[in-house]
Structure 1
């Protein structure tokens, strides 16, 4: 199974269509990311109410992310992915028709919140499939590709396509268009992955044993200090990603005069950058050290980039080229956290399933914490205060990296240079 002919720069060819499904699914899921908050305020709701909608969604996503690993393990990843994509379509239709279209805030909170359970179940079940079917030596590179496809979907296509569709069919029409993309991604996954041999050892376990497995994904936080610290760092990792999608349209469009299409293109540049940096940082971390990379490039880089994202456009005004500079920087440094995917199983080698569940939980909690911080601060402060709150948390994560202890054997640096050159040639 593990020969060079079956991998391309770490991408497992036999799971190729699964990665494509992730990109297409997350494209549809990402259509709304950079404009929905403003669209909700345009309907007459306050900025705090808009942020609350995303907070409820993020909380649901965090719960689903935490449980997705164990759920997929006890019913198979294929079934979990199918449930996720069907749930997404059903709740999205209800959110649009009964929530946004009727301007019913309760329905918006309810159906968008329930929809938050769907995408983590879909994508993180596929991540568990990677853990189950790939050799450990191939897993880090494969997860790099996983996050690259995630970025292609939610960031590049998910931002660029709405920037062109909104002028023609409007925000609501673009949100309806998302249903087609998610359905395509779900169907590709269903038909291409159904015959993949996965671990079925826990599918037939008694319910009591299945619940015991689920509880381990919580108790491990209290029995392993390093897992707890890694969880905090991973939550902080994507605060600006999820938070800026909510607050920055209010700055760029409402105050600085950018059009919604221009803002979406700026946001897409950020995600386009991560396509390459996810893979490059995934390789680099194996040679300079996972935590060392997270400390100096992830934490410090994101703190500086977050401040740049606010102050550069405020100082230079309506200037697309200047506005893209911090977007590119953000895309470079947010990907420096990619080795965290490998950190969690390394910290708990005897219970890797539970460790992956905590990784999923922390990724989902980031989706909840980012808008929650924005909702609280915007109720009494301004956008700049939210930006400084995120920046302060990146500095806090920087401090945590000196406390956490992660076992890792570094690879030869000459080999690292050759690998990075290979990636650059492949993308050129």
Structure 2
């Protein structure tokens, strides 16, 4: 039986609050290098192609780890998975710094950075499964909204902003050393706060061999569960604009008359807005229903927002605040996909870890599909055509939600109390 936390603050489960702080610290430390690592690798004597190769192999390792993380956490417990992730990160980050970068050894650089790439999904998505297992089912959407807010605040705000302040003073290598302090602190905070949280899974009383049989579910569940397969498609569609616009819109905005700096600020506003809206939609979806929010606000909303993001700057020219408002609108609707985190485990309640693994795999596929669409369509259709393809995918996603059979969503505590008292109540 699933354990439930007893107290919430705007959807944040207070018994897991230390885990959210740890997640924020971890992703900040993990994200410090994103803006400068490739440039630093070139500065120590390697080519741009070498730097790109290092980061590509890292991304592949991280994607595979993200795919497997849910079922691993289901089999051995989220807390153990997080500890393994933290240990791997610290060990291979040290080796990456002193055997790879410091010695300018390309082979060890690739190997150690790739092995470090395995680590962060184990920590992050291990905690995500802990959330799914330990909060009330009707609160998973709000709790996952806080998860993505902490994740974005760490990697997108602190992870990007702090290096810009410190690197001119301490240099790139020392900035990478500071990452160690943040990640080590994240583990101290998270594990101290979560030590009383127990593992609640359908497999908790199963034998080791039975638990190991769960690992292939990360692949087979996608084939045998039709609802999960359709949800997978929607999750891929989810971030098409995120990964696609970062490829095509810099050229479009500068063609209109924006400077590169202005474009980067507009795009940063988009990411900053999602921090607040992730929490908002996580809470609202508890009242309106998971699929309803994803269908009308996520899919239809993003379909419209993509067109606005293209046409408003096109007609108004380099008007910074108009473009910034469009980025906020896009962030508002993009965040309405947050309930997908709660939807996947609800579609496979006996295999929650595998469901989270497939959710993670879909996110990785979106990172691949979005630029692939741009690469194939740009020569024929130009930027306008690519935007229409992305928009069309979102509208198609709204129709696909109709194919997902979801049992009536759990009633809130207030509705349940009303029903118990003889009052009327309805399901989401």
**TM-score bin, normalised by smaller chain:** 0.7 to 0.9
Partners of 2:359 and 2:175 in 1: how far apart? 32
Preserved contact between residue 53 and residue 109 of structure 1 (Cα < 8 Å)? yes
- 1:425 maps to none
- 1:258 maps to 260
C-alpha displacement at 1:298, in angstroms?
A: 1.3
C-alpha displacement at 1:346, in angstroms?
A: 2.6
- 2:326 maps to 326
Preserved contact between residue 281 and residue 338 of structure 2 (Cα < 8 Å)? yes
C-alpha displacement at 1:308, in angstroms?
A: 5.2
Deviations 1:355-384 (A, max 9, x none): 233223323433454566677789999887
C-alpha displacement at 1:388, in angstroms?
A: 6.0
Q: How does 1:43-54 map to 2 (within 5 A)?
A: 45=48
Preserved contact between residue 165 and residue 174 of structure 1 (Cα < 8 Å)? yes
Preserved contact between residue 304 and residue 391 of structure 1 (Cα < 8 Å)? yes
Partners of 1:302 and 1:40 in 2: how far apart? 37
Q: Residue 31 of structure 1 aligns to a residue in which SS?
A: helix
Q: Which runs of 5+ in 1 are unaligned?
A: 416-428
- 2:394 maps to 394
Preserved contact between residue 25 and residue 182 of structure 2 (Cα < 8 Å)? yes
Q: Which has the higher contact order (CA 8 A, sep 6+)?
A: 1
TM-score (norm 1): 0.77
- 2:230 maps to 229
Preserved contact between residue 75 and residue 212 of structure 2 (Cα < 8 Å)? no
- 2:16 maps to 15
C-alpha displacement at 1:209, in angstroms?
A: 2.2
Preserved contact between residue 267 and residue 327 of structure 1 (Cα < 8 Å)? yes
C-alpha displacement at 1:91, in angstroms?
A: 3.7
Partners of 1:266 and 1:356 in 2: how far apart? 32
Q: How does 1:258-297 map to 2 (within 5 A)?
A: 258-259=260-261, 266-297=266-297
- 1:424 maps to none
Partners of 2:252 and 2:173 in 1: how far apart? 22
Partners of 2:78 and 2:308 in 1: how far apart? 40
Q: How does 1:178-193 map to 2 (within 5 A)?
A: 178-193=179-194
Partners of 2:134 and 2:149 in 1: how far apart? 20
Deviations 1:174-225 (A, max 9, x none): 4444333222212222322233222388578555323311112321111111
The 3 A distance-change label for structure 1 pair 309 and 39 is: farther
Preserved contact between residue 58 and residue 364 of structure 1 (Cα < 8 Å)? no
Deviations 1:12-62 (A, max 9, x none): 22211111111111122233445667777897526xx87766554443223
C-alpha displacement at 1:147, in angstroms?
A: 1.7
Structure showing greater radius of gyration is: 2
The number of residues matched between the two structures is: 409
C-alpha displacement at 1:11, in angstroms?
A: 1.6
- 1:85 maps to 86
The RMSD of aligned alpha carbons is: 4.2
Partners of 2:393 and 2:99 in 1: how far apart? 37
Preserved contact between residue 81 and residue 121 of structure 1 (Cα < 8 Å)? yes
Q: Which runs of 5+ in 2 are unaligned?
A: 416-428
C-alpha displacement at 1:133, in angstroms?
A: 2.6
Range with greater deviation from structure 2 (140-149 or 109-118): 109-118
Preserved contact between residue 89 and residue 182 of structure 1 (Cα < 8 Å)? yes
- 2:419 maps to none
